[in-house]
Each structure stands twice: as structure tokens, then as C-alpha cells.
Structure 1
């Protein structure tokens, strides 16, 4: 009897000890498997705009909060994107080059725009993994019910379905709704149809980023209170044309609308970061700050790509190389700067790798899981290059610090001109891609064509989805073969 009692009390004592240990595990350790994610995507912010990338006060406005975020985590000098708004957002959401998804260019009406429901988004994957998901801001991946954020994995959303220049339409004396419907600010919830709230005009353009920030903070507060891991995607509309500041920031810098807008952007990011600290979830939250593509071309709101040539809608480095930083205290190294190549298609598989979410295996995924690189377990990224499309035109390819252009296109409104031979550039010695300083190392075409060949081979097994493809989309049988 005493033996039985001793075993019982021994087992009971072990249970008490284990409970005591579990009770004292810090929340940051317990939450490692499913960290919160705040993803801040800004619109058309050039490489050279922020202080930590050589801008800030040289652009008329310091950016202390974003610069501090960069110092608290990892800052990338070689993050690459698709060169237009819709393609880059598609790549982020799916981990696939936009040419695969029929989202390779900004849509201009008359077609079924956006992602087909067959595509699997990062929000769908994280939602299936137990995350609460929210999207606030500019979407640009579908204008109608069936293709809005609440149809693509987000529990809730608020924002504009398309883009910001449409805010100028109502004030144009030649505009009439008999020609084109005005863009509406919308909101919706998963399982329901989204509803229009009000017209997106110039007055709303000035204040929408404040509302995006407010709603992003409220979503974080709600989910922390409910003890849910969250994925909050704050897609700010600045600095897209027209880059008009909130009235509270108009005239604040004395350096014009653009500098006032940059100050506003920094303030809004700071508010979201302050909310994370107030909620005491800094160590449990991954914060990402990213621009969707290179800077504006249209004056007087044109931006600056720093040392690089070009703007969005081009394959120049200025069109594709963008600001990117990521913070996760205790996991991602702080005050780290890297020039390793990363592409925005890599974010889906990387975040899935960190959180345990699932990446689809029935289609090509162009992104690479960079978890080990982001966490400082290796100093090398898993990528050494990628092809570059402008629209549906394969315009260039980048490999290590070399680049080949197959077309010349100076700006977004220039006619592309196909070269008889690829033009080769060394980005270390010729960062401006000056055509008077071409390389004549033809061996470089070998590894570049190998990447292109691998992509083209994949399209034979998994055909590209044409732009304007309606739902429901079913891949051809060749796309389903394993």
C-alpha cells in the first residue's frame, strides 16, 4: 500500500512541477509558433525616400519612426518587387510571379480584374492555420464581390478596391458617372458581400490613411484581447498620386505636399508601432514594412529611387528595388543590413515557414522560404536572381549583381524597343545602368537563361492564367499532373 501511495504522490508531484514550469513560460516563448504579423505595405515609395535609405531630411522630411524600426530589425538593400502595383500585390499574396496569375499589369476596365478564386493567398493559408486576418487599405486585386479581400482569406477589410488616382475623377470638370462609375470606399466581412460606404474623392484621399491606421490598431487590440494570433495587413495609400497630405499635416514641414505626406506616413507607422508596445506584444509580433514597387513618375508627385535609375512600370533597378525591413525581437537580428537578393514572392513561403502555415503544392510557387536567412541562421539568402516582366513582356533578368535587359524602355510612357542583343550591366560598377558602360561578358547569359528556361518549362506543365479569366477557373489537366 505504501508503494502505491509513493508512486501516486511522486506522479502528483511531477505534475505540479510541470504545471509550475508551464505557468512560468514567458508569453514570447509560448507564442513563437504563431507570432502576430503586422504587414505595412506602402504605395510607390522609392528606394531613396526614407532616412535610413539616404532620404528623409534630404527629401524635406525626417522619417524617425520608420528609421528606428529599421534599426530594431533587419533592413534589406536588395529587396525586389514586380514593377507595378497589381503585379506586386499579387506576388505578395500568392508567392507566384504575377505573370502566372493573369495579374501582370494594372487593369484598365473591361475585363474581370484581379486574382481568380483558384489562387491561394497568404491570408487563406494563415487563416487555415488559426490566424485572424484583416486587410485595410488599397487592394487592387479585384474590384467586385467574389474577388475582394473578404473573398480571398481575410476575415474583414476596409479600403479601396482599385487605386488612388481615381480620387481625382469627381473633381474633373469633364468627368461624368455616365462614362465611368466613381470608386467607392468599401468594407466587408468573410462570408458576406462587401458594401460601398462613400465616394473616394480628394477629400477622402487626404484622410484615408489615418482611417487605415485606426482600423489596423483596432484589429490588433481586438485580437490581443481575444487571445488570437493576428495577420493585419495595412496597405497605406501614400505616396500614390495624388500625394496629398492629411489636413493635420498640410504645411507641417514647410517643404510642400510631398514632404508633408512623408511626415504623415512616418507618423502613421509610428502609431501602429506604439500600439504594439502598448499591447505588450512587441516580442510576439513580426513587423514588416515594404513598398510595393519603385517611385512615382508623374509630376509633381514623382519620387526618388536613390542611387538607382528609373521608376515603376520599368525594369530598371529604380522600378523594382524597394525599401524593406522586418522586426521580430529575439528572433530576427537587430541593426542588421543585408544586400542579399530577396523578392517579394518570397514573403508568403517565408511567413508560412515561420508560422507553420501551408504553402500550396499543386502549382508552381516562385517564392523561396527565407526563414533561416531572416532568423540569422545563415548569412545567405536562398535566391541568386529572378526574371523581370513589365506587363506580359519578359524585359530583363537579374542574377547576382549582374543584369541583362532585352528591351530599352526609359520611362513608363516610353515605347519599349527590343535590342538585337541583350544589354549587360554590372550593378556594382554601374548602378545607374548606363548604356555607355555595358559589359561584354557573354558567359553571363548562361545562368540567366537557365532561370528563364526553368520558368518556361514550368509553364508547359502549369499554363499561365490569361488576364481577364473569370471565375470559376479550373486549371487544364496538364496543370494537375504530378
Structure 2
């Protein structure tokens, strides 16, 4: 009898665990190398019906803004209220799908890598931004595949316009990693600003020997190139005026690229990667003082919004707005360390951290006639999902190579179904190679946390600390600022399930290990 009771108890326990797993993880694994996703057969059927009516493959335009805060866009609580109206982005949010739980990585390089490869940066090795003159010891792109590469092999013409910051050496630039062409700069706005503004960087500029030595490490220019060809300089960046013009030059290129694609009757995949609003902000002619706030950052937001409006007008004029998915987002939260040259977030923390302020970014999906106007969703969307979604819409999903684990999920049906729900179950948040936090439904569980020792010092004066016996958990509906952990008190029921999600995620590294390309800091465990 005791043995029978033990067997029954064991079966009941296993049934409970299975039920719990099904609730916390309702995903289905289709391929060993693809992140499992939540099945939604009804919305999948609706998506397929919509796509079947298209006369040809859709265009994909990703508008990636640098360092814009969640709360900068009017539709997300900013705009006029904080002195920088964004009417064009607001219009797209209201006439498309506003995604209120879109997640990036804590800094720009990891986010861009995730967006282009569909992989958490710990897998690609692109875990943090490279600094002036710094180059990885190993070319990360030798074993990576971009969405641009796969779509280029499937009949698309692909390009990136603007900031790259994913490798500056030969073999690591856009035309080396699958893009058919590009125009932009290989680094980041601040890397060029430090050579042209003596008021901010006097200890570099006013010391000729130091200045000349450092300048040799940076190709200070806008360059362009095509697949299989050498890059060439388009515009040197020699002073503040040159730096102020770059986003208009990028916009000119994007317009030309779209026109050429339409003329050649080819579907296009274009990432328009703004230099703004990354510090230091210098605006183009006609934008100084244009925002009500009259601060350089706010003027830059207005310029970015105008460029968005300009590109959207082109899609309308060319009559391709009904065949183009447009996605607007930011690569991370605002860089509060450079205040007041930074954006706004209503959440805790900022760029560099895995608090909501560092990784929760605006997300807008617009597609005339395909995405129902006026939708708002809090469904989870990780920017690495853009890899899978773009390839799926391009009809090339079967061409994703099996060699690398893909952390993104296909969100096509989420975007296109009139009542679509996210196909993603959880978001895993990293600082370099450390798993920091997990978002599931409205809950955020921190395994490690950023401790900032001074206000607005998320990057320059912060440390990473482990949590105690209980992970820190916040209900983001009742405590969106992550002020007081309620994990042990109110979420004891959910901790095992979320810990199980983290454990299952970390187990994927056994077959698909992290890649070390030489960006670990000396003495660091990461």
C-alpha cells in the first residue's frame, strides 16, 4: 500500500509539474535550432490569407533610431509634452500597431547584432560596443548569417543606410556580411564628435600628439560600398557642420535606394539606421531651435521625425505603401549619462542596464491595408524577432541555416492578424554574457541587477550584483518603475515556472555555445 501511495503521489507530482510547464511555457519546438514559439493557428491562417492577396513579395523598411527613449515619441507619452513633437511617428503608431513591450539589448552593438542575426549577442560574441581603435580578435561574421544575406539570396535587394557599429575592419562591414550595398559610417556618432568639438573633448583635441595618434585609428568619413567591391569615401567628417549633415545624407541615399528598387521591380529590405539621437547631437540646417524645447537633443528628435515623414511620403508617392512593412524602433533606452543630450523613459534606469529604462523601447509596425489601424498590444516583442519575421515575410524561412541557434521567433501573424497575439513566450535580458532578467507576461524576474551609485550614471558608475535567496520580481502592470520587489511576498506561485524558463534557455548553450571574439574586459568573468 505504501508503495502504491508513493507511485500515485509521484504521478500527481509529475502531472502538476507538467501542467505548470504547459502554463508557463506553452511553446512548441519546430526545429532544434529555432526558439520555440506559441502556436496560434487561427491568426496564422488569417496572416496567410492576407499575404496570398499580395501581387508580389513585400518590401521591408526598418527605421532604427539610435538611443531614443521609450517616452520620446508622442504616442508613447512624449512628443509635445516634453518639447519635441513627433507627428509623423505618432501618425504611424495610430494608423498601425503600437507595441508597448518591445525589447532591445542594453546597448547599440548587441541590439543591432540581434536584429540582424536573430541571435542573443552572447551567441555571436557581439556583446558590447567596440571603442575607438578597438577591434575584435575574431571576425564574428565569419560564422553568422544576416537577414539581409538570406533575403538577398531570395530575390531581394538589400541595403543599410547610416550607422553600422558592428565591426570596422575588412570582412566585418555590411557589404561583407550579406548586404548588396550600403552607405554610412562604420562607427558611432560620439566616436566622430570627439575629434571635432574642442569644448567637450579639449584634452584630446588640444593635444596634437594625442589627437593625431588617435585620429589614425578611425576612418572619419561616410563611406559606401557594394557586395564584392571595396568601400569608398563619400564625405569626410572634418568638423561639426559635416557631422550635423549626416542624417540628411543617409536619408538621400535611402530615398535613392527605394526608387532604384521600384524601378527595377525588385522587393527591398532596407535598414535605415539613424545616427541621431546618439550623443553628441548636432542638427542639420534649419533644425536648430526648431523644437519647443530648443535643446539639441529635442531638435534632433524633430529632425528624425521629419525624415520618417519624408520616407513615408516616398512610399506613398511610389504607391508601394500597401506592399511595405515599416517597423520603427530604437536600439536601446536613453543614455542618461550624457544628460541633457539624451531622451526620456518613464521607467527605471537607462542605456547600459537591464532595468526597463535600458531595454524597453518604442515599437511601431505599420503596413497600409495589412495591419489593422489603431491596434495597441502589450504582447512581447524582442528586436531579434525582426530577423525571423523579415525572412518569413520574404518567403525564405526554410533557408535559415541550422548551424546557429536562432533566438528570434516569427511574429508575422502577431503583426498581421487583426486580433493578433505575440508568438513569443519570454524575453531574456543580458549584460554581455550574463543572463540578468526574464520577462514573462507582465512579470519581470531579475537574477542579477544593476546598482547605480549616482543619478544618471547607468554606464559610468554602475555595478552588477547578484540577488539574494529570492530573485527580484516586479509586476510591471502595478510597478512599472521596478521600485519594490514583491517576488517572495506575492509571486511565490510563479517563481518556479519562471526559473524553469531561465533554466531551459540556459540549457541551449550546451549544444550552441557562446562565442568569444575578444570583447571580454580584463579580469571580468563576462
TM, length-normalised to structure 2: 0.80
- Residue 193, structure 1, aligned to residue 233, structure 2: no
- 1:224 lines up with 2:270 in the alignment: no
Whether 2:398 is the aligned partner of 1:365: answer: no
| Mean Cα deviation higher: 28-37 or 355-364 | 28-37
Offset, 1:203: 2.4
- The reply on whether 1:144 has 2:169 as its aligned counterpart is yes
Residues 114 and 141 in structure 1, CA contact (< 8 A), matched pair in contact too: no
| Structure 1 residues 413-428: aligned runs within 5 Å | 413=460, 414-421=462-469, 422-428=471-477
For residues 190 and 214 of structure 1, the distance between their equivalents in structure 2, rounded to whole angstroms, comes to 20
Describe the shift of the 1:254–1:381 C-alpha distance in structure 2 as closer, same or farther (beyond 3 A). Answer: closer
User: C-alpha distance in 1, partners of 2:157/2:331?
Assistant: 23
1:172-211 equivalences in 2 (<5 Å)? 172-174=205-207, 175-180=210-215, 181-182=217-218, 183-200=220-237, 201-211=239-249
Q: Deviations over 1:215-251 (max 9, x none)?
A: 1011011111111111121101111001222122012
Which residue number in structure 2 is paired with residue 119 of structure 1?
Answer: 144
More displaced stretch, 289-298 vs 213-222: 289-298
> Conserved in 2, the CA contact under 8 Å of 1:33 and 1:356?
no
> 1:388 Cα deviation (Å)?
0.9
Secondary structure of 2:428's counterpart equals strand
2:139–2:171 CA contact under 8 A, matched in 1: no
Q: Residue in 2 aligned with 1:335? A: 374
Partner of 1:19: none
State the shift of 1:85 in Å.
Answer: 0.2
Counterpart check, 1:304 vs 2:339: no
* 2:428 is aligned with 1:387: yes
Question: Contact 2:474–2:485 at 8 Å: present in 1 too?
Answer: no
1:429 aligns with 2:466: no
1:351-384 deviation per Cα after TM superposition (whole angstroms, max 9, x unaligned):
2222202322232111111111111165321112
Gaps of 5+ in 1: 1-27, 470-482
The question of whether the paired residues in 1 share the 8 Å contact of 2:322 and 2:368 is answered with yes
After superposing the two structures, state which structure 1 stretch, 404-413 or 325-334, moved more. Answer: 404-413
Residue 210 of structure 1 and its aligned partner are, at CA, apart by: 0.6
**SS at the partner of 2:508?**
helix
Paired residues of 1:127 and 1:133 also in contact (CA < 8 A): yes
Following superposition, the deviation at residue 164 of structure 1 comes to 0.9
Q: How far 1:29 sits from its partner (Å)? A: 7.3
What do the CA deviations read for 1:381-416 (whole angstroms, capped 9, x no partner)? 111212211122222122211112223313222122
Q: Tell me the residue number matched to 1:462.
A: 512
1:129-158 Cα distance to aligned partner (Å, 9 max, x none): 100111110011111121101111111111
The answer to which of 195-204 and 137-146 deviates more is 195-204
Query: Displacement, 1:419?
Result: 2.3
SS at structure 2 position matched to 1:177 = helix
CA distance in 2, matches of 1:30, 1:130: 19
Q: Which segment drifts farther, 105-114 or 205-214?
A: 105-114
Q: TM-score, normalised by structure 1?
A: 0.87
Which one of 357, 368, 388 corresponds to residue 318 of structure 1?
A: 357
Task: Give, in whole Å, the separation in 2 of the partners of 1:236 and 1:209.
Answer: 6
Check the 8 A contact 1:408/1:416 in 2, yes or no. yes
Query: How many aligned positions are there?
Result: 441
Residues 315 and 395, structure 1, Cα contact 8 Å, conserved in 2: yes
CA distance in 2, matches of 1:137, 1:112: 25
Aligned to 2:12: none
Residue correspondence of structure 1 range 42-441 to structure 2 within 5 A: 42-108=65-131, 109-112=134-137, 115-171=140-196, 172-174=205-207, 175-180=210-215, 181-182=217-218, 183-200=220-237, 201-255=239-293, 256-297=295-336, 298-306=338-346, 308-357=347-396, 358-376=399-417, 379-409=420-450, 410=452, 411-413=458-460, 414-421=462-469, 422-435=471-484, 440=489, 441=491
Cα distance change of structure 1 residues 114 and 142 upon mapping to structure 2, 3 Å threshold: farther
Return the offset for 1:110: 4.5
Question: Kindly tell me: are residues 207 and 112 of structure 1, through their superposed partners in 2, closer, same or farther at Cα, counting changes over 3 Å?
Answer: farther
1:238–1:261 Cα contact (<8 Å) kept: yes
8 Å Cα contact 1:135-1:233 kept in structure 2 = yes
Pairwise CA RMSD? 1.9
Distance 1:63 1:241 in 2: 19
